[in-house]
Each structure stands twice: as structure tokens, then as C-alpha cells.
Amino acid sequence: MLSRHVGSALLVAVGVAAGAMLAKSPTYLAAAGVTAQTDQSLDVAAGSDWIAAAPGKVEPISGETSIAATSAGRIDKIVVRVRDKVAEGELLAIVDDSEQLARVQAAEAEVSFREAERDNAISSSLPNQRQSAEDNVANSQSEVWRSQLALDRLSANGASVDALNIAKASLAHSREFLAESRNALSASEKSNDAPRPTRTESALAVARAERAIAYAVLEKTRIRAPRAGTVLNILKQPGDTASAASDDTVIAMGDIDRLRVRAEIDEVDIANVTLGQRVVVRSDAFPEKDFAGAVSFIAALARPRGLAAHQAVSTVKDNAIQVIVDLAAASPLVPGMRVDVFFEPTQSSNSKGDGLGTN
């Protein structure tokens, strides 16, 4: 009887020891169909064994940019299509702007009236240098607004490339003249002999300020590209309502000329990962091809994992640490694809350290 109890205890002890050994091995290696490596096998040639592995998701090198409207309203037009390449500041969509356009027209009429009132006012002095400089700035600013509106109309109506290029050149010229006018105004304001503004000049300045506000509110109905990139997804269509909430995405875009992979590695494996470490990325869509990359970022905080294991295999820990891998070259991978990320051994794989690669 005693020998039976001793034998049972011995079997339990062996099972616990085996479980502890498995808990120390990178579990995702098994999930991805790779044999777990022992400490003695980590010094083999790079590319044949892996120190760790993790599930990952492909994304643009700049990350995915979610673009929301800055003014709530009904979407009037979507100007771009998925896969379109856009430049910084290019028009993507327009929220209903009928009310804002009416306010702009009213503001323009008020400015015209105040300009005529000032010009017809009886004055003992001729127009001074400061007044002329202010007029030049106001006129050039108005020309910039009009040029931008003309370009937006052409973009929204699907104008030809030549027509768009002409409108873009006109807008660029208007902006250059505005910069020159502002420099001239700044120089004139430094003069101490300029007369004080009259009542009609002050009224005109207020009208011009109200016009600037009207154009600023109108601009909020435009959804523009914050940077150059490619349109990845369009989440709303004309007729849909857009809110001004930052999470109410209208269009998603990113730079897909180069890609990266956002991976989640088990917290027990983070000591084996360093900045600059070489990795291999594999995808089921391209079973015969490996994609080379290097670790460019390691998060400083472990969080609950957001990516499910590629093979739906449970992991050692619920928490994971995000690691970003920059792919070395252009690839046929598509943003959003799930991939497997394999980390190559380094010379310091067996050494102790925090594994964050910040030295």
C-alpha cells in the first residue's frame, strides 16, 4: 500500500515538473507549428531556429489614420475611392455646407459695404501706407479662400487632371501673394507715424474678421487628408450623418508604400526580444515566402492581448506586450492581414537583461 502512494506521488511530481518546463517555452511556437527550442539549441545558425514567435497584424508603416468630420452634419459627397493616393490637404469628403456658404456670402456683402463706406468717407488725409497694406492682405486672403473653393468644386465634380492642376497652381500663387502681403503689413505696422484708425476703418476691420470666421466655419465642412497616403477604407456614404466625435471615422488612410507588423508577444518571452532584432514574417496567403523585418518598437507596458492566436491555441499568459516590426522591403501583404512573426536568436539571447533594447 505504501509503495502505491509513493508511486502516485512520484507521478504527480513528474507531471508538475513537466508542466513547469512547458510553461517556460514560447507557446506560440507550438501554435504556429514550430518545434520549441531548448537553451542549447539557441546558438544555431540564424534563420533555422526561433527564440520566440507571436501573432501579428499588418498595417501601414505610418499606422492607420482614422479621419473624422470636424463639423456634424449630413455627408454631401465622398470625393475619393479606396486605393486612391492622396496628397496632404487634399479634399476627401464634404459635409453639407449650404448654411455655411450662405453665411460666407453674407459676410462678403458686409465687407463690400464697409469698404465702400470707408472709401466714401470724408477724410482730411490721403490713404496711408498701413491702410494700403491692410487692404492688400485682406484682398489676397479673400483670393486664397476663393481659389480653395474653386478647387474643392472641381474635385467634388470629378474635373480633369489638367483642370485640377491649373486650380492648384492658382491656389499656390494666391498663397504666395498672401505671404508677401503679410510681410509688407508687418513692416508698415512698425512705423510710428501711421494715423489712428477711423470709425469707418474700424467697422471694416470688424466685417473682415467676421468674414474670416465664416470661411473658417465653412472649412470645417471639408474633410481633408492630414498627410499623404492611400485611402484604405470608406466607412460612410453620401447621405449618412457624420458627427464631430473623433471615433466616428469617415475615411481610413495610411502610407502603404511600406508596411509594418504589430505583434503581441507573451510576457514570458519579452526578455528574448530587443530593438533591431531580425525577424521573419509568414502569411498563409504566401506559404512559400518569408518576409524579413526588424523590431523597431517595444511597448513598456503589458496589456490584455487584442490579437487572437493565429491558430486559436491558448497562450501561457493573458497579458501580452506589443512589438512593432518594420518590414525590410515592399511586399504583397495587405494591411489588416493576420501573420506569424518569428524572432531570430541574438548573441545575447542567453544573457540576462530587461530585453527592451534601450541601451
Is residue 337 within 8 Å of residue 260, measured between CB atoms?
no
pLDDT tens for residues 69-115? 999 999 999 999 999 999 999 999 999 999 999 999 999 999 999 99
C-alpha to C-alpha distance for 147 and 141, rounded to whole angstroms: 10
Say yes or no to pLDDT of 7 above 60: no
* In contact, 260 and 326? CB cutoff 8 Å: yes
Instruction: Kindly report the length of the chain.
Output: 359
> What CA–CA distance (Å, rounded) separates 324 from 285?
21
The alpha carbon dihedral of 316, 318, 323, 328 has a sign of: positive
Q: What pLDDT score does 189 carry?
A: 74
pLDDT digits (tens, 9 = 90+) for 195-209: 777 889 899 999 999
What homologous superfamily does CATH list for 25-62+256-343? Answer: Efflux pump adaptor protein, beta barrel domain (2.40.30.170)
Identity of the amino acid at 210: E
pLDDT score, position 312: 41
- The pLDDT value given to residue 359: 32
What pLDDT was estimated at residue 43? Answer: 34
pLDDT attached to residue 197: 78
Which residue would you say has higher pLDDT here, 17 or 120? 120
Work out the percent of the chain whose per-residue pLDDT is above 70.
Answer: 77
Residue 152 has pLDDT above 90, yes or no: yes
3-class DSSP assignment, residue 251: strand
Q: How far apart are CA 169 and CA 134, in angstroms?
A: 25
Q: Mean pLDDT across the chain, nearest whole number?
A: 81
Please check whether residue 187 is in contact with residue 130, taking contact to mean a CB–CB distance below 8 angstroms: no
Find all residues with CB under 8 Å of 38, minimum gap 6, and list them.
none
**Residue 319 to residue 322: CA distance in whole angstroms:** 10
Helix spans in 51-198 (H): 98-120, 129-156, 161-189
Region of 269 please: left (phi>0), alpha (psi -120 to 50) or beta. Answer: alpha
- Residue 14: what pLDDT? 37
Dihedrals φ, ψ of 344, to 5°?
-75, 150
Q: How much is the pLDDT for 190?
A: 73
**Can you tell me the mean pLDDT for 302-325?**
70
pLDDT over 50 (residue 230): yes
What's the CATH class of domain 64-88+224-254?
Answer: mainly beta
Give the residue from 333, 349, 358, 345 showing the smallest Cα distance to 261: 333
**Is the per-residue pLDDT at 340 higher than 70?**
yes
The pLDDT score that the predictor gives to residue 17 is: 38
The domain ranges of the chain are 25-62+256-343, 64-88+224-254, 89-223
Output the nine-digit C-alpha cell for 102.
450662405
Inter-CA distances, 126 with 34, 90, 119, 136, 266, Å? 87, 44, 11, 17, 78
Looking at residue 123, what is its pLDDT? Answer: 57
Q: pLDDT band for 277, please (50, 70, 90 cuts).
A: very high
CA–CA separation, 282 and 340 (whole Å): 5
DSSP code for 190? T
